[in-house]
Chain A
């Protein structure tokens, strides 16, 4: 029965996707608007992109954000992968319930609570707020997303491969590096990307945990947005959307290719047997 879409189904899809994409498309279109009035079309122009290049506040903020996102995503990927391994491989250890709770809760925790609580922690231990505190905060909330992504991949993992490696004398560590890691690598990479974009996006947690020295791009955008919609902000947003879209699509294509390759290999192996 699957494969035929009724008119109702098609309408639902068209309306749903229009709702999801129209605002973004309009934002992108109006970033090329020559008029200073954002909602009045004044002809095509790229002048807002040019004026971005001389906006040092935004450029500095973008640089801070890029560094925060890169460092926190990398550490979060290591920690999140470990957390996923712990959850999938060790079904029994003391405090597992608490552990899985701590991994899943940040996924739905309102950001204001996470931000406030981390800030109070940093104040309590006397850590100066700034670049480091934003990184620590971002590692904490993004590692849980990495853990969930890697975990779902680990669940479908064929453990007999690992057992074979260990039977052949590989230590658990070597088994992990040579057998497990290559298989879960696509999930680890997409976990890293997810952590990177989440860190890139975050306004609330960064606002709580940053100090005077470190302002991230979302914080800068937010403070300008509060004053009203400007074409320059549209241009920044368009650039960000572009970067993220290209990254996600590239990753999807690479993953798809790898899947196809793997299927071919498996088929070849099956035929050889």
Chain B
């Protein structure tokens, strides 16, 4: 197309950039658009997983398909590998045998699920109110939801320590108000983790919900009410089903990272709370047991693969709709 049109354009500039060399160059450039990020992600995202698998599973390590010619497997690793091979088959048995890991997986999934549900309970009314708000203030509200997401995760979790601890601000307030006589123990309990996760991930819940609710045709509700449907059942029969894509996206965006969360259980959950992200961290930094940490990571990834595929499909579908 550009060849043909170059003929019709006499400008010297165009012809200069449009020789056969230019076409080849732009062909290469357009190829690079795909190749450069693709290679980067293969090397720094996919290859590392292969290495994690290798370290946790020695048998598959030998028959590893050569996807990644970037490395030569032989030279940097030799001594390291030999040790790992000895250990690694035991790693998974170890994970199965020791109830610590099993319990950590279960409690991570349960804590993440409960937190996701609570985030939905808090986030849905907010998103709904934002979608119904006058369009003049809607952008401001949206900005207000996004802003905390930009401020440091660590800082936001840290802020809760001063509030929740026994002599903290919440207990001071409640005792001053006469609601309680002795400080509540919230810090270092599951409740603190729920609060931390809901607080940190709330924007991830609100934004997709808002995106679907904003597009909704609210005259449907009016029609239902005109026909005698009470508001609550109109909500469950119309609004909620229509917002389901947002609910699914929001829940996945909260649930998946929450399962592997480290900072929140570490800072707010205390030493007795089991979550798998913390177990992995301790295995790695505390016990310096890299193979077991890898095996923990592999199993965690397996648990999350299904929700992640859901997430990707939901993303792809919403993209198709926008086209």
Residues of A within 8 A of B (CB): 1-6, 8-10, 12-13, 16-17, 19-21, 23-24, 26-27, 30, 38-39, 79-80, 82-83, 85-86, 89-90, 93, 95, 98-106, 108-113, 116-118, 120-121, 123-126, 136-137, 139-140, 143, 147, 155-156, 166-174, 194, 197, 200-201, 203-204, 207-208, 218, 221-222, 225-226, 229, 233-234, 237, 240-241, 244-245, 248, 252
Contact = CB atoms under 8 A, between A and B. Distances in A.
A245 B17 contact: no
A173 B202 CA distance: 41
Size bracket of the B interface: 35 or more
Given A21-B144, A117-B49, 18 more contacts: A1-B218, A1-B222, A3-B132, A3-B133, A13-B129, A19-B199, A82-B32, A104-B312, A108-B252, A110-B257, A113-B260, A155-B319, A166-B5, A170-B17, A173-B29, A197-B150, A226-B267, A240-B155
B5 A121 contact: no
Interface residues of B, dominant DSSP = helix
Interface in B200-259: 202, 206, 218-219, 221-222, 252-253, 256-257, 259
A116 B77 CA distance: 17
Residue of A95, A105, A106, A109 with highest tally of chain B CB at under 10 A = A105
Interface in B132-178: 132-135, 141, 143-148, 150-156, 158-163, 165, 167-169, 172
Contact of B293 (A116, A174, A201, A252): A116
A9 B151 contact: no
Interface in B23-44: 23, 25-26, 29-30, 32-34, 36-38, 40-42, 44
A118 B156 contact: no
B225 to A, nearest CB: 10
A106 B256 CA distance: 11
10 contacts: A12-B125, A21-B144, A82-B33, A102-B38, A103-B37, A112-B277, A117-B48, A203-B153, A244-B152, A252-B143
Which 6 A-B residue pairs are closest in the complex by CB-CB distance?
A110-B260, A117-B48, A12-B125, A169-B14, A9-B129, A83-B37
B263 A108 contact: no
Residue of B47, B143, B148, B151 with highest tally of chain A CB at under 10 A = B151
B85 interface: no
A23 B157 CA distance: 9
A23 B268 CA distance: 14
Contacts of A225: 154, 158, 161, 267
Contacts of A21: 144, 148
B40 A168 contact: no
Contacts of B261: 110
B297 interface: yes
A173 B257 CA distance: 38
B52 interface: yes
Contacts of B133: 2-3, 5, 9, 13
B315 interface: yes
Contacts of B41: 83, 99, 102-103, 140
B11 A124 contact: no
Nearest to B168: A39
B34 A93 contact: yes
B23 to A, nearest CB: 8
Nearest to B56: A120
B272 interface: no
B277 A13 contact: no
